[in-house]
Chains A and B, each alone.
Chain A
């Protein structure tokens, strides 16, 4: 069975600083990886996804993530954080089930942005 670890429960950064959110996964085959963001009071929105090919994936809102097979990691990065990036971030690994990928989610990392 697949699993995801997000080792940081909370991350605090200053506006304009760079950001890296960590994600480690466990999966027996080629993983399908996702990052979602949840703003307060909202559902989750997909930031980016990796299935194959280039290991550096670009997403929306200026985010990117890099797949490193040797480290079983899929860390999310942004060069300059904006106050509106304050939210909960979830990493997920997908497994094939039915006609879709059934993701397993990490426990989330809460991003706090200081002015």
Chain B
């Protein structure tokens, strides 16, 4: 089974702190994604990566950056956390075409910024 793990299930940080959210997948997938999930808004794509050291902005990249130094690991960075970044963060991975199309999700990290 594909496994996508995220470093923390719950995280509490203070305004202005630098925050790292880590995601690791064990299926050698080329593509990895970071989403933010808020009630009533569904999932919104922050960044995605289709190869090591490659990244593309999603719909809401402002205030975030990412890093992908190894194929299995995709990090989301909040350079200076703000209260409006309190949210659930979901990581996903998927194989490149034509191997597959579906995304595999991690359990999520619920981040609270105070």
Contact = CB atoms under 8 A, between A and B. Distances in A.
A107 B42 contact: yes
Contacts of A90: 42-43
Please classify how large the interface on chain B is, using the bins under 10, 10 to 19, 20 to 34, 35 or more: 20 to 34
B74 to A, nearest CB: 13
A74 B92 CA distance: 23
Interface stretch (A63-71, A75-83, A96-104): A96-104
B31 interface: yes
A87 to B, nearest CB: 13
Contacts of A44: 43, 90, 92, 103, 105
Determine chain A's interface SS by DSSP, over half rule.
strand
Nearest to B91: A43
Contacts of A103: 103
B48 A46 contact: no
A100 B42 contact: no
A42 B105 CA distance: 9
6 tightest A-B contacts by CB? A43-B105, A98-B50, A99-B96, A107-B42, A100-B31, A105-B43
19 contacts: A34-B102, A41-B108, A42-B107, A43-B90, A43-B92, A43-B107, A44-B105, A46-B102, A49-B101, A97-B48, A97-B50, A98-B48, A98-B54, A99-B30, A99-B31, A99-B50, A100-B48, A100-B97, A106-B42
Given A41-B107, A90-B42, A97-B48, 20 more contacts: A9-B40, A41-B108, A42-B107, A49-B102, A51-B101, A97-B50, A98-B50, A98-B51, A98-B54, A99-B50, A99-B96, A100-B50, A100-B96, A101-B94, A102-B48, A103-B103, A104-B45, A105-B44, A107-B40, A107-B41
